[in-house]
Amino acid sequence: MIDKTIINKVEEMFQTIQIMNEEGQIVNQEAMPDLSDDQLKELMRRMVYTRVLDQRSISLNRQGRLGFYAPTAGQEASQLGSHFALEKEDWILPGYRDVPQLIWHGLPLDKAFLFSRGHFVGNQMPEGVNALPPQIIIAAQIIQTTGVALGLKKRGKKAVAITYTGDGGSSQGDFYEGLNFAGAYNAPAIFVVQNNQFAISTPVEKQTAAKTIAQKALAVGIPGIQVDGMDVLAVYAAVKEARERAINGEGPTLIETMTYRYGPHTMAGDDPTRYRTDELTNEWEKKDPIVRFRKFLETKGLWSKEEEEKVIEQAKEDIKAAIKKTDGTPKQKVTDLIDIMYENLPYNLKEQREEYVRKESK
């Protein structure tokens, strides 16, 4: 007979882990990560910088100077807290909203802007930046992450592959296939589901009957954890532990970060006011990751308004220089795309290339 109380007992196991509350107070001292004052300040600097980058990117998109763009405000703790727990040798397989992690992993700003414009150069990672371009196909990066992680394991690397998707991505077949394969072969992988409550306009309550996405880890035999995704310390601690488990041969981890995007799904015409209430957004804004971390640092005497203003001005200067460099990049041609498609072109593409060379020379 089916016993629904078993489901209830399982779901009770997945409580949201928090270290720092909305007022910036430490409520779970035992889980407090070992970060120096300089590291705490650097983490704050990255969050403030990324918030400015998001604001400027939205403006540039509206001016027609950027193409595809998925806003990130509200998700800084989830994105940057998780990245801060990584090492340079780790591999990132991002979704399309996860450009900030790539930037802090070494992707130049101008290349990030070129990615937004659909330029092939924006998808070329610089030497030493272990990352794949942002994945547009929902959850396709989950399976790819398992493959990269298995490659690292086979080569004996003390590194992990980490990937990100949203709550909507957890409904894709690729999600289950990737997690199951990673679990079966003990891959050093970290799967982060950034549950920002809506997959475009679909609320998470209609995405799954499960109370948490983290509990889906049980079905594939790997650990799952749900953390307060607006708490940068909790996110960092969760990913740090998952990374240590992975490089010690203990396999993959699924992490669900409970977060919220303030803006639209993307700048391509989405209107969040049609499916979200102001009350809901206001409630989440009270949990703002930058505000609460600022309160925490100020009580420790580690942050000031003057320091934050310096970061804001530096971000604006960097963005201005990067977009100028982006504007100076030669426009891509059809022949560029043909040339990078194959090592040895098939005859039909050779014919097409010759035709386009004639057109481009006119």
Q: Which sequence positions are flagged as catalytic?
A: 261, 265, 275
The dihedral of CA 195, 197, 200, 203: what is its sign?
A: positive
Q: How many CA atoms lie within 13 A of 270 on its CB side?
A: 20
Gap between the Cα atoms of 222 and 175, Å rounded? 14
Find where tokens 């990130």 sit: 72
Tokens standing for residue 246: 């992975």
The two three-digit tokens of residue 287, written as one number:
């949990």
> Pseudo-torsion of CA 137, 142, 143, 145, nearest 10°?
120
How far apart CA 147 and CA 150 sit, in angstroms, is 5
DSSP for 207-225? H-SSS-SGGGGGGGTS-EE
> H/E element holding 193?
strand 189-195
Cα separation, 159 vs 153, in Å, equals: 8
Please say whether the beta carbons of 82 and 237 come within 8 A.
no
Distance of CA 73 to the CA centre of its chain: 12
* Structure tokens, 228: 């307060």
The CA distance from 321 to 341, in Å, is 31
Q: Could you give the CA distance from residue 191 to residue 19 in angstroms, rounded to a whole number?
A: 21
Residue 233's closest CA among 281, 292, 305, 298? 292
How far apart, in whole angstroms, are the C-alpha atoms of residue 116 and residue 96?
10
DSSP 256: E
Residue whose C-alpha is closest to residue 60's, from 110, 124, 98: 110
